[in-house]
Every structure is written in C-alpha cells, then in structure tokens.
Amino acid sequence: MRLSESPAPAEPAASTPPPRETTLLKQTGLTYSPLAFISRLPFAMMVIGVLTLVVSARGSVELAGLGSALVGIGAASIGPFIGAAADRFGQRPTLLLTAIVNSAALGALAWVAYSDLPNWVMLAVAFVTGASGPQTSPMSRSRLVSIIQTKLPVERRPRTISTVLAYESAADEMVFVFGPVVVGLLATTLGAWAPVAGAAVLTLIFVVAFALHHTSAPARSAAERAATLAPASELARPTLLVVVGGIFTVGLVFGSTLTSLTAFMQDAGSAESAGLLYGVMGVGSAILALCVAFFSPKFTLRHRWLGFAIFIVAGEALMSTADSVGMILVSLALTGIGIGPLLVTLYGFGAARSPIGRSATVMTMLGSALMLGQSLAAAITGSVAENLGTDPAMTLPLFAAILVMLLGIANWLLTPSGRR
C-alpha cells in the first residue's frame, strides 16, 4: 500500500463527512500533548527505579536485576489484556483502575523493600507493579488514530497519522531518555525510595487526569461492541504478528545494547556513565523519528523497515568490535539513525493492520512486545557478561539487529507488491 493510500481503519468511520476545517488540535485541545507526555513518565521510571530501590534496600545487584525484569515481564504479559479491556469497556475506566492499583503497588514496593519480609514477597509486588502499569503510551496512539480516522477529512488522514505516530515515538524516546535522569536526581537528593514513590504520585495525578480527559471516549454498550469489535482471532493474522515480532526484536536491541554497554563501562571503571552514553542513541533516535512525517510517499513502510534495519545492523556490528568510548559513541549514533524511524514504521503497520475496534489491543501488544524483548535481552546479556565476559556480551546486540532485518524480510514477503 502506498503512503498516499489510507491505512485500513482501526475504528469505524464517521457516518457523516467531518468538516474540512477540523484539525486534530481542535479535537484534542492544547492540554492533551503535555498531559499524555507526563503521564507516560512513571512507566519509564519503574524499571530503573526498582533497580535503584532494591540495590539500596537489599544490597544485591542480582536481586535488583531480577526485580526489574519482573516489572518488565509483568507489564509485557498483562499489557495486552489491559488494551483489550480498553477496547471493550473504554479507556477511562480501564486507566482509572490501573492507575489506582499501580500507585498502590509502587507505594507498597517502596515499603516492602526496606521491610523484613522475604525476597519473594518483594518480587511478587514488583511483578504486580509492572502488570498494573497504565498503558498510557499505546492508549494515546490508539486514541489519536481513532480521532483522526473518525473526525478528520479522509484526504488528510494518512499524512496526519504518519505525523502523529512520528511524534508519539519521539515522545517515547525522550521519556525513556529522561526517565532514568529523573530517577537519578530523586535517588541522589532524597533517597532510593524517592523514584518509586514519585512514580506513584505522578501516576495518581497525571494518569488519572489523562483518563478523565475529554478525548477518552465513553464505554460502549454491548450492542455497539458487538457491531464494531472484530473477532479476537483476527489478532493472530500473520501480517500483524510479523509486526509484533519486529518490535519484539527492537526490544532485544534495546536491552542487549544497554546491558552490554553497562558491562563495557564497568570494565572501564565508569559504569554510572552508561546511561549518559545510551542517551546518544535515544536523543538521535527521537529527532529522526520526528523526520518520518516528511518522508516521500514513495518511501513505503516495507521499504523503510529494511532500510532502517541496515543502519541498526551496521551500528551494532561496529559496537561488537568497539574498543574505545569513541567507537561506542559512533556505533550508538549509527544505531539511533535506524531505531527511531523504524519504531514509527512498526507502529504505522500496527495502525494500518489493526482489526476494527481492536486498536488499543494492538498498540498494547506492540508496547508489551517491546518491553518483553528489552527485559529478556537485559537478563540474558547480563548473564553472559557476568559468566563469559564483556566481549561475548558485546556481540549480542548484533544478533538482535540481524533478527530485526530477518523480520523485515518476512514482512516484505507477506506484503504484496503495491501495498505497504
């Protein structure tokens, strides 16, 4: 499908043509973007916040790593069900419930970590913390795509969706770059408990406000759901699963890159600098993600997947042989050129291939696959670095990047010529 064509709608079209002067900003209001941006910050703080908390409270890096992994696994395993609940019952009640549960879990975790309770209790609470994480980012994408496809003129929808998905991916990149910075500032100024407690407060205030925002459509009746909700079996279509697999492999790149970079900098005696170096990839990736909106329609989505995968493979190939911080920076910058635009591309495929009425489910599937890949890769790479050494760990991001390329080839074969 060429970019000039409108993607398959994730939600039913409006019964009457919308007025031409309608814009997305008029539909959402000025407060939407800053509110959606801040409300996704607690999610970005959770994994590293738990890591910081457990290391300080229990004195075990291994236990802290396991706790952080359980946060990620909890979010990845339950996230799609939260998305399905939003499609079925509406975003407002779903977000309100998850915000309350998540705030309570974060507060409980800050207390349990310093208590005399056994480790398994703390790990269980860590899992609940991740599992109850409000899926603000995918729900924002779903909400905006739904507004575009039902409120804006048909001829403006493809370009607007591309722009929105570019912004949303850039926002995610920036949040995950600055989230660890906020954690570091709170931990050093107030204590290791502060990032987790701060995430709880932010969730209770801003996620609740996001849930109550006027763009959150009310829950539909059973009859409306039956008429507009595609069968769940359509979520298992190969053309959609290959996109989920693709974003999972991007998560593998994230997790293996950050963990191997941490091991490299630890060997250099500056492990705390890993996050700052990783930011080179994140900031560059965010900037380039915004540029996707200006790509020519001739540069179709399936071309983009393979094209940007080449940059990721090249960057990770350089990293696997890096022996200096300078080479590391170049490799991260090269990888960042591909990561941001590729994420926008994958979410674009997700929007185009979402079954009717299942857009929130699809977006949370993609977000959960990304986090699951990141968590698993971090755990595996950390184990390799500890037991086999840093050099073998530094090669793992390259294997993850090759998987990104292979899934891109599979998507090319599944996408007929002339389609996206």
Give the Cβ contact number of residue 101 at 10 Å. 17
For domain 38-137+166-229, the question of CATH label 1.20.1250.20 is answered with: yes
Q: Are 38-137+166-229 and 232-420 the same fold in CATH?
A: yes
Say which residue the tokens 């079996």 belong to: 233
- Is the pTM for the entire model greater than 0.95? no
- Name the range with the highest mean pLDDT among 104-113, 138-147, 225-234, 257-266: 104-113
Q: For residues 281 and 257, is the Cβ–Cβ distance under 8 A?
A: yes
pLDDT of residue 395: 93
Give the Cβ contact number of residue 405 at 10 Å. 18
The more confidently predicted of residues 158 and 114 is 114
Would you kindly state where each structural domain of the chain is located, as residue ranges?
A: 38-137+166-229, 232-420
Q: How far apart are CA 319 and CA 312, in angstroms?
A: 10
pLDDT of residue 14: 45
Give the Cβ contact number of residue 297 at 10 Å. 12
pLDDT of residue 232: 63
Residue 213: name the closest of 83, 30, 44 by CA.
Answer: 30
Q: How far apart are CA 353 and CA 332, in angstroms?
A: 31
Q: For residues 211 and 96, is the Cβ–Cβ distance under 8 A?
A: yes
Going by pLDDT thresholds of 50, 70 and 90, the confidence category of residue 348 is confident
Q: How far is CA 203 from CA 35, 72, 135, 285, in A?
A: 11, 17, 11, 26
Lowest mean per-residue pLDDT among 10-14, 23-27, 241-245, 268-272: 10-14
Give the Cβ contact number of residue 118 at 10 Å. 10
The yes-or-no verdict on residue 13 having pLDDT over 50 is: no
Can you name the CATH fold of 232-420? Growth Hormone; Chain: A; (1.20.1250)
Q: State pLDDT tens for residues 70-82.
A: 888 898 888 888 8
Q: How far apart are CA 377 and CA 397, in angstroms?
A: 9
Q: How far apart are CA 147 and CA 34, in angstroms?
A: 18
The yes-or-no verdict on residue 277 having pLDDT over 70 is: yes
Token pair recorded at residue 146: 């739904």
